[in-house]
Amino acid sequence: MLRGDRVALAKLISRIENNASDVASIMAAIYPHVGRAKTIGVTGPPGAGKSTLVDRLVERSRKRGDSVGVVAVDPSSPFSGGAILGDRIRMQDHCLDPEVFIRSLSTRGRRGGLARASRQVAHLLDAFGKDTIFIETVGVGQTELDIMELARTVIVVLVPEAGDTVQVMKAGLLEIAHVFIVNKADRDGAMRMQTELEMMLQLHPEAAWTVPVLLTEAANDQGIDAVMEAVERHGTFQTSDTVTQHAPDHRVHEFLEVLGEELRARVDRVGTHRQDLIERVRRGDIDPYSAALEILQDQRALTEILGADE
């Protein structure tokens, strides 16, 4: 993969997505090669036009010579567990471009707007040599803000029908957005939404970066150049002490997240050896908390869990 083999990249992504037992060791080998790509997150409510916007931004990035990766996250069904993964269809103009790699991921029930594997897949695309990586989240609600931990520049896409902007503030989007976009600006209420957002941003404490609020019509390819200019300006701003300041916290957060996922995966793999305890919990003979404490106080069980790496 590090030598530019797209098939190897696809296979590694599949191993990451399937949570193979060697994910941590794969990422440990990849990590020295990450940190060069520009990561741009695109988030917002369902139907805001995020995929169309990303498609236009990929086109602009290719015109300036960037190699591009796209991580598009689709929601999974809570009933079947399946997902449509249709973003490659929406971005079919780029599918045959060898300098564009698009990967759709299913949330697989995970909340937070991103799939579990999103961070690792972005790292793989970075190590593969992509200059710019776009990460498109599922439609976000009030707490699905994981993208702020992953992308250096976060674009929040809204539409005129998004409703009372107090709800936007409640969702926390004002805190994570580096660029606001009111898409489908040909509809009534677009300029009112832009004005309200600008007023609410002025109420926030003064910061070094002034968040722009831009009007776009992604479907008609209008306003995209202004978005690219804002993203580039924020990228230049990010080359200051801001990245250095937040990088340690992000590394610690990633460490704790990886540790939790590894422990959970090993607990799942060793679970069959503790079927008796699981059955006791199922019957109600023991409560879940006492059962968990029993595992934690059992040195043999802990050894099995920590050693379950195959």
Which DSSP symbol is given to 159? -
Query: According to the model, what pLDDT value does residue 84 have?
Result: 46
pLDDT mean over 126-142: 84
How many Cβ atoms sit within 10 Å of the Cβ of residue 310?
A: 6
Binned at pLDDT 50, 70 and 90, residue 143 comes out as very low
Q: What is the pLDDT of residues 20-59, one digit of tens each?
A: 878 888 999 999 999 899 999 998 888 888 989 999 999 9
Burial group, residue 304, by CB count within 10 angstroms (0-12, 13-18, 19+) = middle
Binned at pLDDT 50, 70 and 90, residue 179 comes out as very high
Binned at pLDDT 50, 70 and 90, residue 292 comes out as confident
Which DSSP symbol is given to 222? B
Domain boundaries, the chain: 6-239, 251-306
Q: Tokens 């002025």 appear where?
A: 202
Angle at which helices 288-296 and 299-306 cross, to 10°: 80
pTM (predicted TM-score)? 0.82
User: What rounded mean pLDDT belongs to the chain?
Assistant: 81
What's the CATH number of domain 6-239, 2.60.15.10, 3.40.50.300, 3.20.20.70, 3.40.1170.20?
3.40.50.300
Give the CA count within 13 Å in the CB-facing half-sphere of 247: 10
Dist CA 216 CA 119 (whole Å): 28
H/E element holding 132? strand 132-136
Query: According to the model, what pLDDT value does residue 80 have?
Result: 39
Which DSSP symbol is given to 217? B
pLDDT mean over 285-289: 88
- Cβ–Cβ < 8 Å for 40, 103: no
Query: According to the model, what pLDDT value does residue 253 have?
Result: 80
Query: According to the model, what pLDDT value does residue 17 have?
Result: 86
Q: What is the pLDDT of residues 185-211, one digit of tens each?
A: 999 989 988 998 888 888 877 778 899
Of all residues in the chain, what percent are helix, strand and coil, respectively (each to 5)? 55, 15, 35
